[in-house]
Amino acid sequence: MKALWAKAALSSLAVSILLAGCGSDSGTNTATDAHSDAGSGRKLQVAASFYPMYEFARQVAGDLAEVSLMVPAGVEPHDWEPTPKDMALLSKADVFVYNGIVEGWAEQALSSAGSGDRVDVEASAGLERDATGGEQASDGDHAGMDPHVWLSPVLAQREVEHIRDGLSKADPAHSADYEANAEVYMAKLRQLDADFRAALGQASHKTFVTQHAAFGYLAREYGLTQLPISGLSPEQEPTPAQMASVVKEIKSLGISTIFFEELVDPKIAETIASETGAKTDVLNPIEGLTKDDKAQGLDYIGLMNQNLTALEKALNA
Ligand SMILES: [Zn+2]
Please list, in sequence order, all residues whose beta carbon lies within 8 angstroms of the beta carbon of residue 215, skipping any fewer than 6 positions away: 148, 151, 208, 226, 228, 283, 285
pLDDT per residue over 27-66, tens digit each?
A: 333 333 344 444 567 899 999 999 999 999 999 999 999 9
For residue 285, how far is its CA from the centre of ligand 1 (angstroms)? 7
For residue 247, how far is its CA from the centre of ligand 1 (angstroms)? 22
For residue 214, how far is its CA from the centre of ligand 1 (angstroms)? 5
Rounded to the nearest integer, the mean pLDDT of the chain is 85
pLDDT computed for residue 141 by the predictor = 56
Walk me through the domains of the chain, giving residue ranges and CATH numbers: 2-19+44-194 (3.40.50.1980), 204-315 (3.40.50.1980)
For residue 40, how far is its CA from the centre of ligand 1 (angstroms)? 39
Strands (E) across 158-234 are located at 207-210, 225-228
Report whether 51 contacts 67 (CB < 8 A).
no
Report whether 247 contacts 269 (CB < 8 A).
no
For residue 125, how far is its CA from the centre of ligand 1 (angstroms)? 17
Q: At what angle do helices 84-92 and 2-20 cross, to 10 degrees?
A: 30
Q: Does the pLDDT at position 20 exceed 60? A: no
Q: For residue 145, what are the β-bridge partners?
A: 131
Please list, in sequence order, all residues whose beta carbon lies within 8 angstroms of the beta carbon of residue 139, skipping any fewer than 6 positions away: 231, 232, 233, 235, 236
pLDDT per residue over 222-246, tens digit each?
A: 999 999 998 888 878 889 998 999 9
For residue 256, how far is its CA from the centre of ligand 1 (angstroms)? 23
For residue 35, how far is its CA from the centre of ligand 1 (angstroms)? 38
| Edge-first strand listing for the sheet containing 225-228 | 225-228, 207-210, 257-260, 279-282
Mean pLDDT of 169-191: 98
For residue 216, how far is its CA from the centre of ligand 1 (angstroms)? 11
- Higher confidence at residue 257 or residue 134? 257
Angle at 104 between CA 146 and CA 292, to 5 degrees: 75
For residue 174, how far is its CA from the centre of ligand 1 (angstroms)? 33
Q: Which H helix or E strand runs over 18?
A: helix 2-20
For residue 260, how far is its CA from the centre of ligand 1 (angstroms)? 12
**Which residue stretches of 201-299 are H helix?**
216-221, 240-253, 267-276, 291-295
Residues near ion ligand 1 (CB < 5 Å) are: 214
For residue 26, how far is its CA from the centre of ligand 1 (angstroms)? 26
Angle at 301 between CA 50 and CA 142, to 5 degrees: 35
Report whether 30 contacts 62 (CB < 8 A).
yes
- Alpha carbon distances (Å) from 148 to 15, 100, 178, 218, 219: 26, 9, 24, 9, 11
Q: What is the pTM of this model?
A: 0.83
Please list, in sequence order, all residues whose beta carbon lies within 8 angstroms of the beta carbon of residue 166, skipping any fewer than 6 positions away: 95, 97, 119, 120, 121
For residue 15, how far is its CA from the centre of ligand 1 (angstroms)? 24
Report whether 273 contacts 279 (CB < 8 A).
yes
pLDDT computed for residue 235 by the predictor = 78
For residue 89, how far is its CA from the centre of ligand 1 (angstroms)? 24
Q: Does the pLDDT at position 24 exceed 50? A: no
For residue 173, how far is its CA from the centre of ligand 1 (angstroms)? 36
Q: Is 117 exposed, middle or buried (0-12, 13-18, 19+ CB in 10 A)?
A: exposed
For residue 171, how far is its CA from the centre of ligand 1 (angstroms)? 31
For residue 282, how far is its CA from the centre of ligand 1 (angstroms)? 15
Q: Is 277 exposed, middle or buried (0-12, 13-18, 19+ CB in 10 A)?
A: exposed
